[in-house]
Amino acid sequence: MEDKVLILDFGSQYTQLIARRVRELNIYSEIHPYYKFPEDVSKYKAVILSGSPFSVRGEDAPKVDLSEIKGKKPLLGVCYGAQYLAHFFKGKVAASNTREYGRANLAFINNTNELLEGIEIGSQVWMSHSDTIKNLPENGIKLASTSDVENAAYHIDGEQTYGIQFHPEVYHSTDGAKLLKNFLVGIAGISQTWTPDSFVEATVKALKEKIGNEKVILGLSGGVDSSVAAVLLHKAIGSHLHCIFVNNGLLRLNEFESVLEQYKGMGLNVKGVDASARFLKELHGVSDPEQKRKIIGKVFVDVFDDESKLVDDAKWLAQGTIYPDVIESVSATGGPSATIKSHHNVGGLPDYMKLKVVEPLRALFKDEVRRVGKSLDIAPEILGRHPFPGPGLAIRILGEITAENVALLQKVDAVFIDGLKSHGLYDKVWQAGAILLPINSVGVMGDERTYEKCVALRAVESTDGMTADWVNLPYEFLQKVSNDIINKVKGVNRVVYDISSKPPATIEWE
C-alpha cells in the first residue's frame, strides 16, 4: 500500500463512492474526516478533497490546514473541495442564482491538460451544489465549462492542484473514471498494483508478524465477512485460530449442520456450539423487537465467553469488521470516535474478556471482501450467500418466539430460498427471506374452512443495504412458490409479497 490516496471527507454523501472508484482502479485509498487529519501525510501520493453539505462561505464551513499538501502533492478538489481551493486561495465563491443539481454536459474543454485528456465536449457530468466559483484561485486556469457553470474545472499553474465542480465518482458522470485515472495515474504517477492477490499476500504477512504463535478466537456467523476473515487468519496462523460457530436456534433450516460441515471441509479449526435451547428459553414470552435483540446479544456473549475460556491462553479476538463500519464510526460531521464493530449478534463484547482485537478486513468494502474471498478459493456458495440478520429469524417472526413458530418459518424460508435457486433467481437478489405475521386468516382447503398463518415474502436488490428496492420477481415464480409453501408447510394458508422499498420501509420488518 505504498501508493495510496488520502480522501479528506467534508461530509459528502458521495465520499465512500470516491474511495470505491479509486479502488476500482487498483489503487488503495483511505477516507479521513477533515477534523482528524493524518499525522504523517508523506505516506500518501495524492490527496482528494470531497464534497460537503456546507457552504465555504458559511461561518460553520469545515476548514483544514493544507500547508503540507497544496503545491507539494497532487491535489484534486471535488465540488466543495474545488470551491474551498478557490475561496481560501484568492478566488471568489458566490451563491448560484439557481441550484445546480443533476446532469450537465461539458460545453468547453481544454483537453490538452492531463486531467481532461481523452474527454470530449458533450461529456455528461453530475452537478450537486448551490454555490458557484465566480473567480478562480490565484494562478488558476480554466479547464472546462458547462452551459450554466463557467468554471466547471480548473488547474492552478505551477502546481499539481486541480478543482472540479462536478462529481466524477457518481455513475452519471460518464467519463468520471477516466478523469480519476488521469489524475491518479497520469499526474500523480501512482501504480495500479492494489489487487486481491496483493492484499492477501500483504495481509497474511502482517498477521504472521502481529500474532506470531499466539491463539486467536473468532466467532463465525456463516456470512461472507467472518468466513473470509477466518480463511485469511488460517492461512497466516493455521491451527492457532480457534473458530466458534454458535447455533442460536434461529438460523435457517439445517444451516447450522451444513455450514459447520462446509467450514470443516475448508480445513478450519472450528467448534460448533448448539445453544438453541438456551436462546429460546430466554426469549420465551418476549415480543418486543428491541428486547429480542438485547436478549440474543446477551446470551451470545455469555455463550461465546464460556467457549472462549475453554481455549487455553487465547490472546486475540478476531472480528469481521469491514471498511464501511470504520468510516461510519468516524463521521465527517462530528460523529463518535472509532469503535470496534459488534459481532453480528452482539451489542458489544464485554471488557472482562481482555482480548486484543485483530480485524483483517477493516480496509475492505463488501465487494472487495468477496473478491479477496475468490482469490482465496472460498466456495461460491459462501461468497454469494445473502446477508442474514444477526438475530436471525427472531426479527422475522413478528410476535412471540416459540419453537413451533421457528420451525414453521424455517420451512417456509427453505421453500422460498430453494425456489429462488432452482429458478436461477438467487444471485439476482441481494437479500431474500420470509416473515411470519402475527395474524391468522380464513382459507379453504378441500371442503374445509381453515384459520391459519399468513407469511410475507421479501426480496430486495441493493449494494450495501443502506437503500434497497424490492425485486420484481416473475408472477409465474411467485405463483408457484406460494402454492408450494401452502401445500408443503402445514399451518400456512396465505402468502403475500412485500413491494416496499428502503426508504421509507426497512429491509427487515423488525
Known catalytic residues are 79, 167, 169
The C-alpha cell of 476 is what? 409465474
CA nearest 232: which of 137, 121, 395, 363? 363
CA nearest 341: which of 355, 353, 333, 329? 329
Alpha-carbon distances, residue 419 vs 258, 384, 477, 486, 490 (angstroms): 18, 16, 8, 14, 18
The C-alpha cell of 350 is what? 464485554
Under DSSP, is residue 139 helix (H, G, I), strand (E, B) or coil?
coil
Under DSSP, is residue 88 helix (H, G, I), strand (E, B) or coil?
coil
CA distance 266 to 276: 25
CA distance 6 to 197: 22
Omega of the bond prior to 62 within 30 degrees of 0, cis? no
Please state the three-class secondary structure of 264-329 as a single string: HHCCCCEEEEECHHHHHHHHCCCCCHHHHHHHHHHHHHHHHHHHHCCCCCEEEEECCCCHHHHHHH
CA distance 169 to 17: 6
CA nearest 194: which of 350, 51, 336, 20? 20
Residue 492 β-bridge partners = 453
